[in-house]
């Protein structure tokens, strides 16, 4: 796999939306959420006309919709993304009462929490992972942190940290040597760690999976972390259904990630095929919630 394909999401996805985040944040803080939604239309139109990432939206939508994407499809896709950023500003401002959230599979989480079991939550860039803030308020004794490379998208992180200075304390930087020990202790204390598991950080830690009818690379790192920590794994997707409504889905994934030395890669492939299958199902049901605006299948096209 080439370096270009491995780092393409870093170059074209979130970084290209920095100006959009700053603009939406200013509008919301100065004009309110309702006015902000109205302003999204010209912002999205401008983005579609002048952004090079629309080609990736069309290619993804063709796979998820099963037909050639129309201009309206692409517009709806980008509007969903802009709306997610708007909602994220509200979530980071702790205005969670603004949302109507329906939980699916909550009993899976309840069962483990009542046993004081720490959990690894695997998410993706499908939907809004920040909806876990609403969940964490329900379980006030449980702490939730995100494991991520905080060195990526530093400018965007700075924008959000201005909204919520405590945000920095809610992130475990995977790029630090002490991070894994902290994650292990944090989970063993009965807390939750969320990891977005659909973007490749290390080209040497991937497996090929069939995703939306085409081979794509998925990272093995999150599963290896779960294996080392010996924690149960649950999949989580927070999907926008229009207006203020979200559906949050929890899927039982594995009580423990077991990787035998002699068949490690084969077992990782099985786990990630399961992950990609569930991810694909939600992509087909909620196609406009996909926020990977880069060439997800580039290496194999």
Largest Cα span, the chain: 59
What pLDDT score was predicted for residue 177?
A: 78
Here the tokens at position 209 are: 């999976």
What pLDDT score was predicted for residue 95?
A: 75
What pLDDT score was predicted for residue 102?
A: 93
The model's pTM = 0.89
Residue, of 114 and 279, whose pLDDT is higher:
279
Alpha helix segments (H runs only) across the chain: 3-12, 18-31, 33-50, 54-65, 71-92, 106-114, 132-138, 154-163, 179-188, 221-229, 264-285
pLDDT tens digits for range 247-256:
999 999 999 9
The CA distance from 121 to 189, in Å, is 15
For the residues 229-235, what does the mean pLDDT come to?
A: 95
Angle between helices 71-92 and 18-31 (to 10 degrees): 60
For the residues 90-112, what does the mean pLDDT come to?
A: 86
For the residues 237-245, what does the mean pLDDT come to?
A: 94
How many other CB atoms sit within 10 Å of the CB of residue 162? Answer: 12
Binning pLDDT at 50, 70 and 90, where does residue 6 land?
Answer: very low
Contact indicator for 89, 24 with CB cutoff of 8 Å:
yes
């Amino acid at each position: 796999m080439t370096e270009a394909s491995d780092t393409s999401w870093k170059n074209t996805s979130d970084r290209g939306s920095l100006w959009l985040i700053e603009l939406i944040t200013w509008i919301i803080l100065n004009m309110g959420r309702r006015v902000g939604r109205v302003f999204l239309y010209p912002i999205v139109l401008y983005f579609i006309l002048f952004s090079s990432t629309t080609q990736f939206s069309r290619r993804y939508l063709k796979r998820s919709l099963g037909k050639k994407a129309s201009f309206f499809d692409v517009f709806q896709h980008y509007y969903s993304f802009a709306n997610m950023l708007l909602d994220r500003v509200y979530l980071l401002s702790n205005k969670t009462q603004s949302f109507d959230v329906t939980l699916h599979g909550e009993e899976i989480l309840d069962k483990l929490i009542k046993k004081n079991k720490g959990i690894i939550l695997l998410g993706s860039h499908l939907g809004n992972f920040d909806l876990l803030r609403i969940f964490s308020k329900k379980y006030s004794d449980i702490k939730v942190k995100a494991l991520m490379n905080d060195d990526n998208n530093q400018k965007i992180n700075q924008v959000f940290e201005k909204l919520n200075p405590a945000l920095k304390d809610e992130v475990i930087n995977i790029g630090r040597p002490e991070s894994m020990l902290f994650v292990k202790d944090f989970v063993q204390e009965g807390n939750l760690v969320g990891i977005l598991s659909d973007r490749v950080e290390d080209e040497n830690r991937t497996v090929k999976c069939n995703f939306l009818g085409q081979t794509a690379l998925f990272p093995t790192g999150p599963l290896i972390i779960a294996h080392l920590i010996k924690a149960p794994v649950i999949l989580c997707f927070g999907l926008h259904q229009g207006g203020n409504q979200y559906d949050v889905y929890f899927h039982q994934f594995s009580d423990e990630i077991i990787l035998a030395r002699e068949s490690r890669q084969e077992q990782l492939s099985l786990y990630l095929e399961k992950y990609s299958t569930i991810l694909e199902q939600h992509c087909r049901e909620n196609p406009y919630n996909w926020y990977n605006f880069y060439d997800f299948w580039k290496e194999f096209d």
